[in-house]
Amino acid sequence: MVSFDMRAPFFTTGSQFPIVKRRQLPPPHKMTGKERRRMNPNHGLIKLAELYVDLFISRFVFPLMGHIWSPYCWVLERRFCLAEAELAPMGWPKELVPLRVLLITDIHGGIFLKPQTLWGIVRSLMQTKPDLVVICGDLVTGHVSEATPYLEALAGLTDAPLGAWFCFGNHDYFGGDPAELQDNLATRGIKTLKNDSVVLAHHGNSFVLGGIDDRVMGKPDWQRLISRHGPPHLLMAHNPDHFYDAEARGVPLTLSGHTHGGQIRFPNGPAIIRQSRYCLDEGVYAFRSSLLVVSRGLGSIVLPFRWGAEPEAVLLEITAPD
């Protein structure tokens, strides 16, 4: 169910407006663990061709085209929404009071996104008072330097009591040194988890937050991830296809992006662009005792446009099961 607030768009430069669209995520879709697509989007010649086309467009075509035509901020002003869900994952710490987590992913900084637009989004989202903000990868599109104009806007995310945390996505490896991106985020108080975890205290109790490296361009290291504090209760994983590996290691809840929800979908139809080998395209999924949330994300690639898979952030309220 989607509710609409027909007030003015909230992204006007220098202003702060309420979120204009909200929707409730459907209940978790139960997976068998056997769902597979015929063509694996993470391997083979198709993925290799897609990777080089994506790299070429991100590094050489976008910088030229953006000075002529960049309508994506218009899309954000009218179609960005906040998706919401209440979750009670098995294995969640029983003593922990409800935790509000804001999931932002696939920002894709670059020519399609104006810094003032992101500033408006961040200011509006932080009015929801999240306890924790997670940025699940693809902060940039083609080069780590693209993050620089957005750092001031992103700094607003650190107002959350438990801070703002980042994990790498595939686009964050396309150009430049990923360590530079990590360092630049750190200057604004945003911390990175790369095959690592941290214990966070929340109203007298604690939980473990982890981040796994990107599945396609990074080097995921599960052993390193769980060696410090055990399996995280909450895992940042840019690619949702990490889900079954996370479940096998006892992770109650994984948060992902990467798929853009298909970016373009026909009404009530499947994703057109399919980035998940295991059909984990968007929304909430359940397998055995683990849950996965896949956000459509905020940004856009290849085309400065979305249809049927509107840009979003996700606000979760997480509690222990009864």
Per residue in 47-97, pLDDT (tens digit) is 566 666 766 766 666 666 655 556 788 888 888 999 999 999 999 999 999
Domain residues of the chain, as ranges? 30-318
**C-alpha pair distances (Å), 139 with each of 2, 22, 226:** 27, 23, 25
Single-letter amino acid code for the residue at 34: K
Q: Read off the pLDDT of residues 147-188 as tens digits, 9 standing for 90 and up.
A: 999 999 999 999 999 999 999 999 999 889 999 999 999 999
Residue with more model confidence, 164 or 42: 164
Please check the confidence at residue 24 and state whether its pLDDT lies above 70: yes
Q: Which CATH superfamily hosts domain 30-318? A: Metallo-dependent phosphatases (3.60.21.10)
Residue with tokens 């490896």: 173
Q: What's the token pair of residue 182?
A: 């990590």
Q: Which of 278, 214, 279, 212 is nearest to 249 (CA)?
A: 212
Q: What is the DSSP string of 50-117?
A: HHHHHHHIIIIIHHHHTTT---HHHHHHHH-EEEEEEE--TT--TTPPPEEEEEE----BSTT--HHH
pTM score, two decimals?
A: 0.90
Contacts with 168 (C-beta within 8 Å, 6 or more apart), sequence order? 137, 178, 192, 194, 213, 214, 217, 218, 238
- Report the SS3 class of residue 178: helix
